[in-house]
């Protein structure tokens, strides 16, 4: 594998270690390819009964995609970047699809930062996933903060979060902890960080076929120790505000609520790309009625349109390159986002027969 992805097999489990700590395990194209190669090799291997993915970093499981690479590659040509940029998103989304439908238990130890592309690597399908969080878990889909949208399958898993939690998480891009991740259905078990070494040792000694049951039994005594979920406490407010009929109505509703929760959400949204918030609103509306493959195809087309527009390039410039935290969004306000702008973003970037993810089912 690459220098940042280490794989091994023991006790009939395939083990993946993400090892790019200086970049919080941000995914490069080489890492995406390594992950896909390992998972494909183990998928039909009778000697592998489960997969475990974790991190060498004390700070992060995976902070997302390598956004500096996005910026450099996206500026390479006037029409949304180099072949490497195109390959990155096509192969990353294919990896997300592979993980979602993985036929063997897929154990993700989500200690530390889990954001963006890291969520795509973490959110396996319901038949395989075992997602463990700790009190150090910091989970988010913060793409609107850099002029993007919640991709890597976000149109699928956020649109299926309870009530309007997906809209709240996708539009604000705010970070949640373990209790909120469990409440939102984005994690399965809580284990205190102090017990993670013991859990890791147990996993290493357990045959792959028994992992799901053993992890659930190990985590059971800690089920009530993850703290209270702020999202659960604010459930009525989230439903009232983010259940409004339009994005503009969401903003108007939040503005009438002087609570700390509502004002924090409103302040976050005021910093985000208006165009990408509108795109996120529409993305989640459409995603609720689509399967995984169609969600990923929609996202792949939308990301191409986004780079053509340039919103993500401006967001990364402001956040990462120049670090002035003053993005010049286009358009600058939600009121200036027109139906035609939104329709252009969702216009297919390829005919169906030429879509890079056409073979996903």
Residues with catalytic function: 65, 117, 143, 151
SS3 107: strand
User: Would you state the torsion angle of the CA atoms of residues 57, 63, 66, 68, taken in this order, to the nearest 10 degrees?
Assistant: -100
- C-alpha closest to that of 186 among 143, 152, 149, 237: 152
Computed on alpha carbons and rounded to an integer, the radius of gyration of the chain in Å comes to 20
Do 124 and 97 meet the contact criterion of CB atoms below 8 Å apart?
Answer: no
Phi and psi at 225, nearest 5°, equal -105, 10
- Sequential DSSP letters for 28-59: PHHHHHHHHHHHHHHHT-TT--EEEEEES-SS
Q: Give all strands (DSSP E) within 151-212, no chain letters.
A: 189-190
Sheet holding 189-190, edge to edge: 5-10, 13-18, 50-55, 106-110, 129-133, 189-190
Q: Which of 193, 218, 192, 188 is nearest to 203 (CA)?
A: 218
Q: Which two tokens stand for residue 67?
A: 């956004």
- Residue 246 C-alpha from the chain's centroid: 24
Query: Parallel, antiparallel, or unpaired: how do β-strands 5-10 and 13-18 relate?
Result: antiparallel
From first CA to last CA, the distance across the chain in angstroms is 28
CA–CA distances in Å: residue 97 to residues 56, 100, 138, 206: 25, 5, 23, 27
Number of Cα atoms under 13 Å in the Cβ half of residue 290: 22
The answer to whether the CB of 37 falls within 8 A of the CB of 66 is: no
Cα dihedral: 329, 335, 339, 344 (round 10): 0
């Amino acid at each position: 594998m690459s220098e940042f992805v280490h794989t091994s097999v023991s006790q009939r489990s395939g083990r993946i270690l993400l090892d790019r700590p200086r970049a919080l395990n941000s995914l490069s194209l080489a890492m995406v390819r390594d992950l896909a190669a390992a998972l494909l090799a183990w998928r039909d291997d009778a000697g592998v009964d489960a997969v475990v993915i974790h991190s060498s970093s004390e700070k992060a499981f995976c902070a997302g995609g390598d956004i500096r690479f996005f910026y450099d590659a996206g500026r390479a040509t006037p029409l949304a970047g180099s072949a490497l940029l195109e390959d990155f998103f096509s192969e990353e989304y294919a990896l997300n699809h592979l993980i979602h439908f993985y036929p063997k238990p897929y154990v993700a130890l989500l200690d530390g930062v889990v954001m963006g592309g890291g969520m795509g690597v973490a959110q396996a399908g319901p038949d395989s996933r075992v997602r463990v969080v700790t009190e150090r878990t910091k989970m988010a889909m913060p793409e609107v903060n850099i002029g993007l949208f919640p991709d890597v399958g976000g149109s699928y898993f956020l649109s299926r979060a309870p009530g309007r939690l997906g809209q709240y998480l996708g539009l604000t891009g705010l970070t949640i902890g373990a209790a909120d991740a469990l409440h939102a259905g984005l994690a399965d078990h809580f284990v205190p960080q102090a017990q993670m070494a013991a859990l890791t040792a147990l996993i290493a000694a357990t045959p792959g076929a028994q992992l799901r049951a053993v992890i659930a039994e190990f985590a059971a005594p800690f089920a009530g120790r993850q703290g209270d979920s702020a999202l659960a406490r604010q459930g009525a407010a989230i439903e009232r505000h983010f259940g409004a009929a339009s994005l503009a109505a969401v903003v108007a509703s939040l503005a009438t609520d002087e609570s700390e929760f509502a004002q924090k959400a409103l302040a976050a949204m005021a910093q985000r790309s208006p165009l990408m918030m509108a795109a996120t609103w529409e993305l989640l509306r459409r995603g609720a009625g689509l399967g995984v493959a169609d969600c990923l195809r929609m996202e792949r087309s939308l990301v191409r349109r986004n780079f053509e527009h340039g919103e993500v390039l401006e967001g990364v410039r402001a956040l990462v390159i120049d670090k002035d935290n003053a993005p010049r969004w286009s358009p600058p306000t939600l009121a200036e986002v027109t139906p035609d702008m939104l329709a252009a973003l969702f216009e297919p970037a390829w005919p169906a027969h030429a879509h890079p993810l056409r073979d996903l089912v």
